């Protein structure tokens, strides 16, 4: 069993066994038929993934690594909030007729701010600090910008990344660690998608900064399973599991902005079948 499978199964069991139902509450989300989309939720899930040991893709079902990397690059590299620059349709229901999701996600990463070292956006600030001041305790991005929330078609779910560099006490090499903070997560649909995305991000940032990937800590304030997803989750977490795949990254890339989805691969990725026709709450 991969580390990621173990963590995912335990997270789902914790929510199903110890979570709190929102049935009867005034919930925002609706199913396509208009019914309220209630959840079983658990407050304050914290999971740790050691990226030096394995890449955290679950094997219970296949995580579409190319698509989740494409979305990651759309946000972090293109700094876009227009779905016309994205090669999937996961944001279609949140976009306006021009394709924009408002001042959300990539837009916020691309806003330049004045620092004593000059004007930089949030991504370039991280890249600068990783090269010039790697032991800084101030390497943070924030997408939850309150003055712009009214112009976001969806408030950010994964909203903050904190980077921290440690030195290996044996070989002296620098390791890049990160905390991903998420206010809310649909566990069936998005859990491993987000984990894989930010694991890839750590690998990218580490490589261009001459570091090794370390730990990813994933903090979810409201981790939930929707009522119509419960049977799907129960079936999923009882499936056979496999060994973690091997993560392949193009080691020739030294510039963060030169990575493309084709520079990544999961080798020997053996999984269970996909779950088809997952009900979508919006």
Which residue in 12, 68, 157, 196 is the catalytic one? 157
Residue 260: its pLDDT value, please?
97
The CATH superfamily assigned to 3-267 is Thymidylate synthase/dCMP hydroxymethylase domain (3.30.572.10)
The candidate with the shortest Cα–Cα distance to 263, out of 277, 279, 276, 252, is 252
How many helices (DSSP H) and strands (DSSP E) are in the chain? 6, 10
Residue 170: its pLDDT value, please?
85
**Contact status, residue 179 vs residue 214, Cβ threshold 8 Å:** no
**Contact status, residue 247 vs residue 264, Cβ threshold 8 Å:** yes
Residue 225 annotated as part of some ligand binding site = yes
Residue 222: its pLDDT value, please?
98
Residue 197 annotated as part of some ligand binding site = no
Residue 2: its pLDDT value, please?
92
Q: How far from the centroid of its chain's Cα atoms is residue 254's Cα? A: 23
**Contact status, residue 219 vs residue 161, Cβ threshold 8 Å:** no
Alpha-carbon gap, residue 199 to 14, rounded angstroms: 23
CA atoms within 13 Å, Cβ hemisphere of 58: 27
Residue 224 annotated as part of some ligand binding site = yes
Alpha-carbon gap, residue 15 to 224, rounded angstroms: 7
Q: Where are the domains of the chain?
A: 3-267
Residue 159: its pLDDT value, please?
98
Q: Angle at CA 66, nearest 5°, toward 223 and 224?
A: 10
Return averaged pLDDT per consecutive 10 residues of the chain, 282 residues in all.
Answer: 95 98 95 95 98 97 97 98 94 94 98 97 98 97 98 97 94 96 98 98 98 98 98 98 98 98 98 93 88
Residue 140 annotated as part of some ligand binding site = no
Alpha-carbon gap, residue 181 to 71, rounded angstroms: 18
Q: Is 157 a catalytic residue?
A: yes
Cβ–Cβ contacts within 10 Å for residue 3, how many?
18
Residue 282: its pLDDT value, please?
87
């Amino acid at each position: 069993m991969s580390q990621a499978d173990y963590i995912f199964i335990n997270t789902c069991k914790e929510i199903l066994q110890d979570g709190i139902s929102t049935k009867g509450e005034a919930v925002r989300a609706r199913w396509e038929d208009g019914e309220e989309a209630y959840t079983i939720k658990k407050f304050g899930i914290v999971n740790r993934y050691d990226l030096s040991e394995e890449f955290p893709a679950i094997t219970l079902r296949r995580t579409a690594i190319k698509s989740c990397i494409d979305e990651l690059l759309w946000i972090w590299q293109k700094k876009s909030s227009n779905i016309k620059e994205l090669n999937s349709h996961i944001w279609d229901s949140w976009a306006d007729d021009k394709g924009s999701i408002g001042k959300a996600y990539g837009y916020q990463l691309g806003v330049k701010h004045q620092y004593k070292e000059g004007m930089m956006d949030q991504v370039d600030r991280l890249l600068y600090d990783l090269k010039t001041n790697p032991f800084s305790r101030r390497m943070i991005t924030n997408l939850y910008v309150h003055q712009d929330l009214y112009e976001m078609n969806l408030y950010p779910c994964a909203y903050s990344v904190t980077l921290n560099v440690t030195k290996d006490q044996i070989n002296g090499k620098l390791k890049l660690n990160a905390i991903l903070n998420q206010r809310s997560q649909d566990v069936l649909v998005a859990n491993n998608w987000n984990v894989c995305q930010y694991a890839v991000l750590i690998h990218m940032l580490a490589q261009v900064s001459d570091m090794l990937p370390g730990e990813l800590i994933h903090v979810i304030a409201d981790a939930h399973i929707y009522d119509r997803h419960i049977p799907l989750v129960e079936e999923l977490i009882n499936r056979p599991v496999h060994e973690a795949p091997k993560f392949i990254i193009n080691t020739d890339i030294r510039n963060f902005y030169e990575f493309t989805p084709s520079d990544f691969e999961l080798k020997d990725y053996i999984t269970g079948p996909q779950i088809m026709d997952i009900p979508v709450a919006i």
